Amino acid sequence: MEIFTCSKSRNNWLLIFVLTFLAFGLRWPGIDAALSSDEATSFLMFSESSWQSLVLNYQDPNQHTLFSLLSNISQNLFGESELIFRLPALLAGILAVPLIYFFSYQCTNSRLGAFLPALLLALSGPHIKWSQLGRGYTLTIFLALLVMLSVFKLIKSSNNKTWGLLLISSSLGMVLTLPSNIYFVFACSLFFTFMMIRENTQNSETRLKDLTCSLIPVFALFGFIIAYLIFIYTDLKVGLESYRRYALVIGDLEYEGTKTIEFNWNRIGLIARELVNPWGEWFYLAIFLGGWYMKRIAGICFLIILLVPLLGAWAMGVLGPPRSFLYWIPLVMIMAGCGIIGPMARIGRILSPQTRYAVTALLSIFLLTFPFLHLKDYYFKKNQENEKRKTSLISEAKEALSFIEGNTLEHELVVFPYSDRVLRRYIEELVAHKMLRIFQEGKFDKIFFMGNRSIPPGEIPDLGIDNISSLPKNGFIKIREVGELLIYDLDYQIFRMYANENYLDFENKIPWPKTAGISFDIEDNHKLTGRHSMLVRKDRSESIKIYSEQIKTLKLAKGGGYTLLIYSRKEGSKSYLGLAFDRKVLKPVMLNLMFGFFREMKTGIVWHRVSPHYRFLAPPDSVNKFSWQIVIFMVPLDSDVYSFKEMMHLKNQENYFDGIQMYVLPEKKNKNEESEKE
């Protein structure tokens, strides 16, 4: 059975080389720019993961398993850099262009019919964008082309084991890249099954056994895929709920669209516009004409691949963002190519050669104008964003790690931005263990701050969101520059506020008042420092603030300074401790709030990293081990005498606190601060 025929003349390899070189040239500028947004999250969360962890777990919707596997292999072989991290996406984006040429050539039996879709894909806005970002979307497009090519080859020769294995591996690769790609794989398998049954009914000599044998690749690939999806099913449910929360909070930003993931026409419109970027909605005229001019069987295949994912999303009630449907881009480019070439071929028959050349030239200029204008703006914005970046390069983060290891002591804290995910990837664990040592041993010697040159040092301790408070500008001494990364020494002394309270179970010594519905207990089973922790229970639903019965005073000499409070609480708790002053003071500034998470294990206390998307992630179904969060904050104070009390704001029914420690930070030139207890 022939679906398409191949010309016996050789392919024009020079044309393929030109297309490939064009694809490379358009995707290379800016490939070494600083990591940002979701790709920085992937680098942070998965670049150190083992293949077992990646394949057997699905941590959140940001996980593109196959990309992370290939990217980690690349970094192990060639070293860590922005280019090497993005290498799988870049290569997949480049190689998809010659691959669509081969596939289109067999579909159309025309070099022009193969050249135009390949050229359109090389110029496609989203394809260029995702080729330059460390994500799995260009892998999806490349593998989608392999799946379709394998299906068409197997229809011609169903016993070909090579194409059968390629169909299985490329389909599994798509699902490993993005689980929602199962819709595309199912659509291609449905088309292949339909064609095999169709051939079986037309050929009276074909037996059921032959039909079954021809469908073995489909049975095998779905056996692997279903087993994989069942294995990570619990993680997928949590991931779906996490993305639902994400859409509700920031769904109206750029390509995310509306604040919902439900199937609706607005989201379909967003997908449709993304597929034809940069040409715009008029491009669908060429696509619809292409559906008319395409061969009947190829048209049926494309129709199934377009409809099945939409029907699946409608049945599930979940429609992902436009980038989740980028596997449609090859179909769109091929159909548009047919829609442009078909009418031009007919018009050309009635025009003179000179007129035909002129029309062709005008059409080419028209088609190329849109990508030219888009790419001019795209590269300019990309360059501007990289110049104005507030995050670290991988090379800068490595040097920052060397500085901490070689120039800081065990009781010296390093504060850096939570939003700098590349810097987190290299120094977060080391800094977290410094926090733990300071907390457990009750010794605090110095504070360093490090952040991008464009960030004022007082704004370095961010929480990944717009700062609601920052430290005063004075007291920061720049001691080193690492590219655009600056390192500061906070020029203040650090003392325990009250020498006689150098006690690691101090939380149980604070005279908290007896309050109806509130109970205080000494806890021995869960603790992070000292011999005990404090367990506070409340039997009322509303939150409540409780203040210590003891008033304390603090005197700061000229120049002022800071108070600093350290404690730990159960991870996930919304309750917190603080200091209530007798007058209005500046808001406290959290230091490394989301870095100090430690889980109680049989082997001891183990640090774990928190995802940048922690605000959106749904809690897993399984019960987690008990974990602690170390909290450190500073309150800027002027030179004066202050009265204050310890306070707790209880929001949870059950609240664990441990290791309350208070420090005072006067300027180094003023060492005559006084503290007294009343």
d(CA 643, CA 114): 79
pLDDT of residue 249: 66
Which numeric CATH code is attached to 496-677? 2.60.120
d(CA 141, CA 12): 24
pTM: 0.89
Non-local (6+) Cβ contacts of 599 within 8 A are 571, 605, 606, 607, 608, 624, 625, 626, 627, 628
pLDDT of residue 10: 55
Beta-carbon count within 10 A of 525 CB: 10
Best CA proximity match to 448, nearest among 479, 413, 404:
413
Q: Tokens 């370095």 correspond to what residue? A: 460
Beta-carbon count within 10 A of 490 CB: 20
DSSP 134: S
Non-local (6+) Cβ contacts of 163 within 8 A are 150, 153, 154, 157
Q: Are strands 412-415 and 446-452 parallel, antiparallel or unpaired?
A: parallel
Q: What are 318-352's pLDDT values in tens digits?
A: 888 889 999 999 999 999 998 898 888 777 777 77
Counted residue by residue, the chain has a size of: 678
Q: What are 251-282's pLDDT values in tens digits?
A: 544 444 456 677 788 888 889 999 999 999 99
CB neighbour class for 201 (10 Å; exposed up to 12, middle 13-18, buried from 19): exposed
H or E stretch including 660? Answer: strand 654-666
Write out the E strands in 369-463.
412-415, 446-452
Write out the E strands in 453-603.
476-482, 485-490, 495-496, 518-523, 533-538, 544-547, 552-555, 561-570, 576-581, 589-590, 597-601
H or E stretch including 642? Answer: strand 641-650
H or E stretch including 607? Answer: strand 604-607
Look at residue 207 and give its three-state secondary structure: coil
d(CA 185, CA 198): 20
Average pLDDT, the chain: 86
pLDDT of residue 203: 65
pLDDT of residue 252: 44
d(CA 502, CA 510): 13
Best CA proximity match to 374, nearest among 255, 240, 277:
277
What are the residue ranges in the chain where pLDDT is below 50? Answer: 1-9, 252-257, 622, 670-678
H or E stretch including 228? Answer: helix 216-231
Q: Which of 134-165 are b and which e, b meaning 16 or more Cβ less than 10 Å from the residue's Cβ?
A: bbbbbbbbbbbbbbbbbbbbbbeebeeeebbe
Non-local (6+) Cβ contacts of 327 within 8 A are 140, 141, 144, 174, 181, 184
Hey, where are the domains in the chain? 13-386, 394-490, 496-677
